[in-house]
Amino acid sequence: MDHITTRRILAALCGLVLLTTTLHATAGVHGGGETEPGFVAPPQNIVPPPPPPKNIASAETFIPFPGPPVVPQSRSEAKNPPKPPVMFTKVRSPHSVLDWSVYPEDLPSLLKSMKEKINASFEQEIKSWAEVSADPEKNPILYRTGHFRFQLSPAERKEIRQYLLDGGFILFNTGLGSMPFYRSAVEELTAIFPEVPLQRLTEDHPIFHSYYDIDRVNFHQGVRDAGYRGNAPAFDGITINCRTVAVISRFGLSAGWAGKDEPQHQIYESESAIKLGVNVMAYATAQRAWAKQAVNSVQFVDPETSVAGKMYIGQARYAGEWKTRDKALSMLMHQFNRGTAIPVKYGHKELALDNPAIFETPLLYITGHESFELTAQEMSGLRQYLLNGGTLFAEACCGRRGFDAAFRQTMRKVLPDSPLKEIPKNHLILNFPNTIQKVGVTPALAAKLGGAQATRPILQGADIDGHLAIIYSPYGLAGGWELTPNPYSHSYDQSSAYALGQNILLYAITQ
């Protein structure tokens, strides 16, 4: 055997050993997941990450509402132009690039596309979890991609939770649709926020409309081969106080960003992937700015430590996102207690609808963003409560269609003989104690209404023997009660939300 052939064999063996070592190193992360159902191996043609781009002067940058925090920069021939701000931080693991950067050009390519398509200049960074700052302004969007199973430490979970609550955002990208990574992301977000359900984001979620309107996307054939038949983006999210703080993309985005349109993979086509990436950036940026305002606007209400002398309003608990704004109902009750001459003070309790305690309250309140289902026992308890003279007050928080459709369908089952109808403008509920002929609306709802800054109040009700057993607002109120409607919400403004809330409460407890 000649020396050249020997060298080639040795080189091939070294490459095989290196690849095997890399896979074993990655497999050490919480089991690796190679033997789990749905595992998709990363491509083997891995290339080193590209060098950082040279600093160039950026053109003046503008993104329509809600835009990123960019300082417009005029064209300049200066030798040391300002460095574009960091928007995305790719999170690396302590293992091989096969674990966290199969497509090292994914974010650079996305940022290049953003520069070309919307004239916005940003940069990326690569950090470990330990290097990520708890200050969202220093790493606004965290991006973790992968194929293999992973696990965070308790300290990392605690740090990430605080980062997200302070205005940060994280995107988990399932590399080529590999299920072990997806399941790990689900498990980690569930551990980080055990009190909040992880839900599939419906088509009207603002993340799909923050810059581009993308109710429908294009997938490659591999997605269909995996059994997905829809055309809506497949994002799961954790939403806290009307702000989605973390998202898992069920199918791969990074390949599309990198221009790797390979039909056999479980990925978005490039154009759809890029548009989703731009929308993630626009949504996360606007929500981070709003989160700062919301923290300063929420009033802290004294805890309800005493039961004596109080009548309680019940907030309905169900399997799903049943509490959208933590302080909203307390703030409404606080203002109601201060603004009326009624001697009895009102507080609230959180109650399951199959709990007999619901019969001890004159009013139940239910809200949410996404679709939901009540159990047979919950529907039976609610039906009996309403037939016994109780009142259900419902709102589609942020005016979201998912909750709206689910609520209407559920009420048709609960009260099939009492359909929801629009409450006329001369009804007592719109005239006492406040006469409400017009209501102010959020900018997003104004845009939906053709630019109108105010509209007549839209309330619907279901009547039982002359009593409104159900009072329903298809537009949001809770954000107004907390004094900070979400910028993407289809809601009434603060003063209108309070006026409607006060009238509804007074009606429910006096009729």
pLDDT tens profile 20-71: 444 444 444 444 889 999 999 998 765 555 554 444 333 333 333 344 444 3
Query: Does residue 309 or residue 135 have the better pLDDT?
Result: 135
Q: pTM (2 decimals)?
A: 0.84
Chain segment 85-109, per-residue pLDDT in tens: 889 999 998 888 888 999 999 999 9
Peptide bond into 66 cis (omega under 30): yes
Chain segment 269-323, per-residue pLDDT in tens: 999 999 999 999 999 999 998 887 776 555 444 444 444 456 788 999 999 999 9
Any idea how long the chain is?
A: 511
Task: Let me know if 189 is exposed, middle or buried by CB neighbors in 10 A (0-12, 13-18, 19+).
Answer: buried
How high is the pLDDT of residue 26?
41
Task: Let me know if 458 is exposed, middle or buried by CB neighbors in 10 A (0-12, 13-18, 19+).
Answer: middle
Q: Please, where in the chain does CATH 3.40.50.12140 lie?
A: 24-50+82-294, 298-510
CB 346 within 8 A of CB 312: yes
For tokens 């239910």, name the residue: 366
Does domain 24-50+82-294 correspond to CATH entry 3.40.50.12140?
Answer: yes
Determine the average pLDDT of the residues in 73-86: 58
How many alpha carbons lie under 13 Å from residue 83 in its C-beta half-sphere?
9
Q: How far is CA 131 from CA 91, 96, 159, in A?
A: 9, 18, 11
CB 253 within 8 A of CB 273: yes
Mean of the per-residue pLDDT values of the chain: 85
Nearest to 351 by CA among 334, 363, 369: 363
Q: pLDDT class for 131, splitting at 50, 70, 90?
A: very high
Topology (CATH) of 298-510: Rossmann fold (3.40.50)
